[in-house]
Amino acid sequence: MAVAGIKKKIIKFVTLFVFIFAAGAGIWTARMIWSPAGPVHEHPEQQAHSTVEEQARVWTCSMHPQIRLPHPGRCPICAMDLIPVTEQSGRGAGEARSLREIRLSPQAERLAEIRTHPVERKFLQATLRMVGRIDYDETRVANIAAWVPGRLERLFVDFTGTQVKKGDPMVALYSPELLATQSELLLAVRNREQAGRNPLLQDSAEHVVSAARDRLRRWGLTHQQITEIIQRGKPSDYMTLTAPLSGVVIRKDALEGMYVETGDRIYTIADLSRVWVRLEAYESDMPWIRKGQEVEFQVEAYPGEIFRGKVEFIDPFLNADTRTVRVRLDAPNADGRLKPDMLVHAMLRTTPVETGDVVDPAKAAGTPPLVIPATAPLVTGRRAVVYVAVPESPGTYEGREVVLGPRVGDHYLVRQGLSEGETVVVHGNFKIDSAVQILAKPSMMTPEGGGGGTEHRHGSVAQPAGAVAAAEAVPDTFRRQIAEALGFYERIAASVELEDLARARKDFSSLGKALQMVDAAPLSGHARMVWLESAMLLGNDAVVGSESRSLREASRTLRTLQSHLDRIQRELGLGQTAHAAAGPAESLEPIPSAFQVQVAGILDAYLAVHEDLAADRFDEALGRMKSLEQAVRAVDMAVLEGRAHKVWMERLSDFDKHFKAAGDSRDMAGLRAVFLPLSRTMTAVVEYFGIEPRQPVYEIRCPMAFEGKGGNWLQKDQEVRNPYYGAMMFRCGDVVRTLPQDSGPAAKGRRHE
């Protein structure tokens, strides 16, 4: 029986296997018969690779993602084969409009838990909490002191805390000097009465009376007390000192019977009808505090009761130990309930407005400021990155660097970079940034994208990969208009060099306005995206620089601006515009060749100074500097007209400052410090006016000079000779650009001729 059961199970299993196999074979046969393409012999991986290559428009390197070329080949850095980059798939997929753009599928958005919030305008209320204590109003404190030496015969107030009124007697003082002066006054009064009509005697007696009155008044006697002495006709043995104001006696420094000298303090009286409230405010709260603001506060003695005072003083110094600033309120205290040294918990409510100022919440009016939730920006150091949803392309997000104002509760004020109605990511933005970083695009951690950018090589000509292709896509019409906008760089650098903060802020503001006027319509494709990225960064620099509160902050912003201009030079080939000195041109007059010959002579004298600095020859370099000064002063500017003449006069003024500073130099370090701004001016002159005969002039930069701030100079050849380090780092530097020979007024002059 057991054997028969086993056989039955085996038969069932075999039957089931045959059935499944037959069904599978039938399905496969049907697919082969009905498939329109017939049997497939190509592997799916090969199909995908073929499709990717057909769709690819940009080729990159897997090890250096910053390399992006329009054709296949090898990586110019590591020589690896380039791989194709396809268009990102997703909803609304199309041509990318930003270097920071990324597209996510619906599933990816769900996994990243993306949540957004609109950028809006609204008034926010900042609430600041401070602690402190009650103190006397120092303007309402008075001392009663001995005005003449003497003995304290009587003290009318025996203990501190006594309430007194103005004019109440406080001290009876016996003073021999006071007694003698009273006798002198009475004698002079009698002599005046006995002088009769003799004018000489009357004048003499009146003079003595006046002198005695003044002496008694200086000793603290009132006009009424002096009059009583004269009416009584005999001196008083004691002088009574009265309370100078109404208040409370807070100090008693003497006892009856004591002898005192002039100036010895006897009592101190404080008027407590108004008191001071001394508060401690955190450093981060200072943007919200203004003089005249109303502040509410409470004390432990009266829980739940609100007192009010106004900000009357903000300490100009910061306590380095507590990182706080003292703030003083003036508060009424007519009923005397606020006692000195009471602990205070204060609350200041204020509302920021669009102008950046703060007002009382009840007085907020006008256009509200632009705000975003505090979770929207990714903040690292001085940079803040937000991701904006592209409205016409669902699932697409664009990264932007923005300039933030102070934080107000759960929101940030936005100073630059966003517009009302845009939608920003408030949750999942870090995941988006990580994805952008993996794609080698600019992100929070890698602002230039590609994981680092180009390397620094000593004595080499820097040729960033991909820059040539982007530069070829920039039309001359765009180059000309961008030259006008970025020409403000030299103005800003000169203002910072002259330590003129007001002028530097104005120049930063002018740069921002000029950038807004640049029309990017002539650009397309990758070149357009590079410029939009650069314009965003430069616009942020302009805003931050225009609001600089110190020269140190302006100088730091200038260095950031310089790095962004260098980035344009690397990626878009617009380096020649980074140092244009002309600013907004009224017109581009042709430059006469006769003047260009003189500029060439100045350049030769400059290059002689450079050679001596690079060779560490101080005395020779100082002598060459004088020769350069003679060459500049010998220039005949009569051949220039209009804008060109104005520009030369501006540069001539700069040269004068450099020569004066060079004359004050006492060592090589000082002379090299002068050579840096001199090189900026020389670059501006060569770039604007040109030289004749025409020949290449190379601008070279050492990023390590001047403690990492970097320094540029000019040479006629590409073999680096560093004037800032000399033999110490003779070959440190990169050729960053060749001064343009085919644009600007100089080029127009050559075409005209």
| C-alpha dist (Å) from residue 306 to 47, 126, 444 | 77, 19, 46
pTM over 0.85: no
Judge if 517 and 666 occupy the same domain. yes
- The pLDDT tens digits for 360-374 are 776 777 788 999 999
Asked whether the beta carbons of 483 and 739 are under 8 A apart, the reply is: no
C-alpha span between 693 and 691 (Å, rounded): 6
Judge if 547 and 656 occupy the same domain. yes
C-alpha span between 329 and 276 (Å, rounded): 6
Which of residues 85, 114, 149 is at a domain's end?
85
- Which residues is 60 bridged to in the sheet? 68, 83
Which of residues 384, 407, 438 is at a domain's end?
438
Q: Which strand (E) or helix (H) includes residue 651?
A: helix 642-663
Query: Is residue 522 over pLDDT 50?
Result: yes
Asked whether the beta carbons of 290 and 325 are under 8 A apart, the reply is: no
C-alpha span between 220 and 209 (Å, rounded): 17
Q: What is the mean pLDDT of residues 733-738?
A: 86
C-alpha span between 181 and 211 (Å, rounded): 10
Judge if 498 and 569 occupy the same domain. yes
Which of residues 270, 291, 319 is at a domain's end?
270
Give the residue carrying structure tokens 């199970």.
9
In one letter, which amino acid is 213?
A: R
Considering Cα of 246, then 247, then 253, then 258, what sign does the dihedral take?
Answer: positive
Query: What values do phi and psi take at 66, rounded to 5?
Result: -70, -15
Number of Cβ within a 10 Å radius of residue 155: 19
CA atoms within 13 A on the CB side of 77: 20
- The pLDDT tens digits for 466-510 are 444 455 567 777 877 777 777 788 888 888 888 889 999 999 999
CA angle 39, 44, 49 (to 5 degrees): 130
In one letter, which amino acid is 363?
A: K
C-alpha span between 219 and 205 (Å, rounded): 21
Per-residue confidence at 66, pLDDT binned at 50, 70, 90?
Answer: low
Q: 43-57, 279-293, 517-531, 670-684: lowest mean pLDDT where?
A: 43-57
Give the torsion through C-alpha atoms of 610, 615, 619, 625, to 10 deg: 0
C-alpha span between 645 and 591 (Å, rounded): 10
C-alpha span between 621 and 612 (Å, rounded): 5
Whether 398 is covered by a domain: the verdict is yes
C-alpha span between 287 and 356 (Å, rounded): 9
Nearest in space to 526 (alpha carbons), one of 484, 571, 486, 488? 571
- The pLDDT tens digits for 111-162 are 999 999 999 999 988 889 999 999 999 999 999 988 889 999 899 999 999 9
Q: Which domain holds residue 556?
A: 460-752
DSSP 323-365: TEEEEEEEEE-TT--SPTT-EEEEEEEEEE-TTS-EE-GGG--
Q: Which strand (E) or helix (H) includes residue 746?
A: helix 744-752
155: domain CATH number is: 2.40.50.100
Judge if 341 and 358 occupy the same domain. yes
Judge if 482 and 614 occupy the same domain. yes
Whether 525 is covered by a domain: the verdict is yes
Residue 753 has what pLDDT? Answer: 42
Per-residue confidence at 573, pLDDT binned at 50, 70, 90?
Answer: low
Q: Which residue has the higher pLDDT, 25 or 641?
A: 641
Where b means 16+ CB within 10 Å and e means fewer, 628-661 reads bbebbeebeeeebeebbeebbebbeebbebbbeb
Total count of residues recorded for the chain: 753
Give the residue carrying structure tokens 């409470």.
298
Query: What values do phi and psi take at 621, rounded to 5?
Result: -65, -35
Asked whether the beta carbons of 188 and 208 are under 8 A apart, the reply is: yes
Judge if 721 and 607 occupy the same domain. yes
Judge if 176 and 72 occupy the same domain. no
C-alpha span between 416 and 400 (Å, rounded): 10
Per-residue confidence at 458, pLDDT binned at 50, 70, 90?
Answer: very low
Residue 1 has what pLDDT? Answer: 45
Whether 382 is covered by a domain: the verdict is yes
Judge if 426 and 479 occupy the same domain. no
Whether 46 is covered by a domain: the verdict is yes
CA 509 to chain centre: 13
DSSP state of 300: T
Residues 6+ apart with CB under 8 A from 379: 404
Q: What's the 3-state SS for 225-270?
A: HHHHHHHHCCCCCEEEEECCCCEEEEEECCCCCCEECCCCEEEEEE
C-alpha span between 385 and 417 (Å, rounded): 10
DSSP 687-712: HHH--SS----EEEEETTHHHHT-EE
Judge if 614 and 748 occupy the same domain. yes
Output the average pLDDT for the chain. Answer: 81
Q: What is the mean pLDDT of residues 182-189?
A: 84
Whether the bond into 590 is cis, omega within 30 of 0: no
CA 284 to chain centre: 15
CA 720 to chain centre: 35
Query: What values do phi and psi take at 221, rounded to 5?
Result: -80, 140
Q: What's the 3-state SS for 458-496?
A: CCEECCCCCHHHHHHCCCHHHHHHHHHHHCHHHHHHHHH
115: domain CATH number is: 2.40.420.20
- The pLDDT tens digits for 227-281 are 888 888 888 878 888 899 999 999 999 999 899 998 899 999 999 999 999 999 9
Judge if 173 and 78 occupy the same domain. no
Judge if 598 and 674 occupy the same domain. yes
Whether 613 is covered by a domain: the verdict is yes
Per-residue confidence at 64, pLDDT binned at 50, 70, 90?
Answer: low
Over the Cα atoms of the chain, what is R_g? 42
- Which residues is 388 bridged to in the sheet? 398, 424
CA atoms within 13 A on the CB side of 163: 3
Q: What is the mean pLDDT of residues 603-622?
A: 95
Query: Is residue 60 over pLDDT 50?
Result: yes
Number of domains in the chain: 5
Q: What is the mean pLDDT of residues 76-91?
A: 67
Whether 391 is covered by a domain: the verdict is yes
Residues 6+ apart with CB under 8 A from 514: 484, 485, 486, 488, 584
Give the residue carrying structure tokens 């003595």.
208
Whether 451 is covered by a domain: the verdict is no
Q: 30-39, 91-100, 253-262, 585-594: lowest mean pLDDT where?
A: 30-39
Nearest in space to 530 (alpha carbons), one of 476, 578, 473, 489? 473
CA 274 to chain centre: 40
Per-residue confidence at 595, pLDDT binned at 50, 70, 90?
Answer: very high
Judge if 260 and 276 occupy the same domain. no
Query: Is residue 390 over pLDDT 90?
Result: yes
Whether 96 is covered by a domain: the verdict is no
C-alpha span between 688 and 747 (Å, rounded): 9
